[in-house]
Structure 1
Amino acid sequence: MSCAASPAAGGAQPTPPACCAPARSGGDTGEDGARQTAAPSPPGPLRDAHRARVALPGGSFRMGGEDADANPGDGEGPVREVTVGAFAIDAHAVTVARFAAFVDATGHRTEAESFGWSYVFASFLPGRLRRISPRPEATPWWCGVRGAAWYAPEGPGSGVEDRWDHPVTHVTWGDAAAFCAWEGSRLPTEAEWEYAARGGLDQARYPWGDELTPGGEHRCNIWQGSFPFRNTREDGYAGTAPVDTYAPNGFGLYNTAGNVWEWSADRWHPDSTDLRAMRGGSYLCHESYCNRYRVAARTANTADSSSGNVGFRTVRDTA
């Protein structure tokens, strides 16, 4: 991890919040990793959709945040000048279709499949699964669901046939790295991610400016209502949205706030062993408990964790 992407040196190691994406800790829920159903193949035209990359020249920008909503325990600050080199970054998060093409080509089995389970937001599950699925004590709105995987986002009986253009989820940091190795790309550093997500704006709270809903217009997919009990879906979605939903930022990137958390290349802290930083927030973020859909916000999870609100996008060097 480069020093440019690190939180302030000398302070206590930040502790990632458990609410954003639960860690795969404790026991396994069973299963031996066998794929429960055949992994689907996307229709031909969708294999090449949403693969556009935006070439950025790099340069210096002010990274981090110190405003009233900054989370001191997350290591957002202090605001510091950071320089990144030239690179090209996905305009969209990696879609289900792109990931399916990778699985078709390589036979890759995700870590969620190997473990036999992944975390699903409880409200998305039928009552039977809610009752039998174990829940983390600190975040009981998450359920560890047997058979939940990238192609079965809510477990057995669910599918992705109507979500090919949504971001892939239930992927670990290792799954994302394997995809990048196959494609000849890599995960962005936190500095690269934030530089790109800001879209050329200096210290704006969001990729489009400082107001969350300018003119009453929703610009991102986050939680509205009372979390975790009632989502009014005023932005149009309860779960993931297609990767090209809402207007892009000034650099042409879509959904760098909300929708799904995105894995970065970096460790959460230089001394971390298995915690990897994530950026962008997700459809479950709400101002009452997880105001981390601001551009400067960050969180982390263990590299082997997966859930229904974590995905990724990729970069390539251009210099």
Structure 2
Amino acid sequence: MVFVKGGTFTMGAQPENREEGPPQKVSVGSFWIDSTEVTNAQFAAFVKATGYVTMAEKPLDPAVYPTVAKEDLAPSSLVFTQPQGQVDLRDPSQWWQVVKGADWRHPAGPGSSIEGKADYPVVQIAYQDALAYAQWAGRDLPTEAEWEFAARGGLEGKRFSWGDSAPDGRSGNMWQGPFPVADEGTDGYRAQLAPVGCFQKNGLGLSDMAGNVWEWTNTWFRPNISSNGGKASIPPESDALDPDEPGVAKHVAKGGSFLCADNYCLRYRPSARTPGPPDTGSSHIGFRTVKRTS
């Protein structure tokens, strides 16, 4: 883990997306944070020690999904499937599929495996799975403010975690080219995850704070950033709101993923944020943990 000395910073930005503002001064205390995303090997050790079963490995609750057919309640998760032709970028269902049998051990579904990928970020992890791991390790998930403060690496007001220059092949695992039909792979990883720690670290020595996988925070999502008198706050669950899916409480995810491209998403910036699905994972969401000093 890397020690992050607390301080005050400008959280958010003049919105490039509707949910990223308004920018405001926010203070956070000191904390330790994982230098990389939690890996398959680390999560496997947790499962071996506890027998934990992730959300993706459990069937959906018919009481929560009364209109879903019984056969569709089987354990499943979201998997990115690259389309073969042009798509309507307003319709993510053209590149996301619900795949039965997809879970952290089989991130793309039955037949896929994490064998030989011990140092890759664990994915297909729902929020409560990430929180369970963090608590087992004696830690927590970061608040949105803690995560963004760490991601900025000491750079105030910069667009990216490395500054204002456009990303290059060393910046992080992102999508180069027109999403979702063609990833040029100039970063060395074409339309796929990368092992943790492959790319340049930010000013605090943290890897993968831009791209590779989205990362869970413990902050409930609202369509703007939240503060309380300049101190980072977590709104109660009752205040959570995703305008695109009212009534479904979601947590904030940060950092973007290998699917973020200039023509779509562009959310590998520290100020960027997205609502994470409440009861499932996907093939591009992982996490890292924090340990606060007070």
> Partner residue of 1:149?
103
1:122 is matched with which residue: 81, 85, 95? 81
Contact 1:93/1:313, CA 8 A, preserved across alignment: yes
* Matching residue within 106, 131, 137 for 1:177: 131
Q: In structure 1, give the amino acid aligned to 2:82.
A: S
Q: Which residue of the partner structure matches residue 96 of structure 1? A: 40
Aligned to 1:286: 261
Q: Tell me the residue number matched to 2:4.
A: 56
Q: Which residue does 2:17 correspond to in 1?
A: 71
Secondary structure in 1 aligned to 2:82? helix
Q: Match of 2:204?
A: 251
Task: State the TM-score, normalizing by the size of structure 1.
Answer: 0.76
Give, in angstroms, the shift of residue 180 of structure 1: 1.0
Deviation of 1:217 (Å): 4.2
Relative to the length of structure 2, the TM-score reads: 0.82
Aligned match for 1:241, one of 187, 194, 199: 194
Aligned to 2:67: none
Q: Counterparts of 2:277 and 2:119 in 1: how far apart (Å)?
A: 27
1: CA distance, partners of 2:281 / 2:169: 31
Find the aligned partners of 1:302 and 1:230 in 2 and give their Cα distance: 26
Task: Please say if residues 102 and 182 of structure 1, whose CA atoms lie closer than 8 Å, have aligned partners that are also in contact.
Answer: yes
Equivalent residue of 2:22, what SS? coil
Q: Note the alpha carbon deviations across 1:279-319, whole angstroms, 9 max, x for none.
A: 00000011212011111100012321210000000000113
In 2, Cα distance between equivalents of 1:79 and 1:257? 20
Maintained 8 Å contact 2:28/2:145: yes
Q: Deviations over 1:157-213 (max 9, x none)?
A: 111112110110000000001101111100000000000000000011111111123
How far residue 226 of structure 1 moved from its aligned partner, in angstroms, is 1.5
Please tell me whether the aligned partners of residues 95 and 166 of structure 1 are also in contact (alpha carbons under 8 angstroms): yes
Unaligned runs of 5+ in 2: 60-74, 85-89, 223-234, 241-247
Q: In the alignment, which residue of structure 2 is the partner of 1:298?
A: 273
SS of equivalent to 2:58: helix
CA contact (8 A) 2:216 2:276 kept: no
The residue type equivalent to 1:282 in the other structure is S
* Aligned residue-pair number: 251
CA distance in 2, matches of 1:169, 1:296: 22
Shift of 1:138: 4.3
Q: Is the 8 A contact 1:212 1:218 kept in 2?
A: no
- 1:19 aligns with none
Q: Are residue 232 (structure 1) and residue 191 (structure 2) matched?
A: no
Structure 2 partner of 1:87? 31
2:41/2:118 contact within 8 Å kept: yes
How much does 1:218 deviate? 3.1
Which AA in structure 1 matches 2:291?
R
Separation in 1, partners of 2:199, 2:277? 30
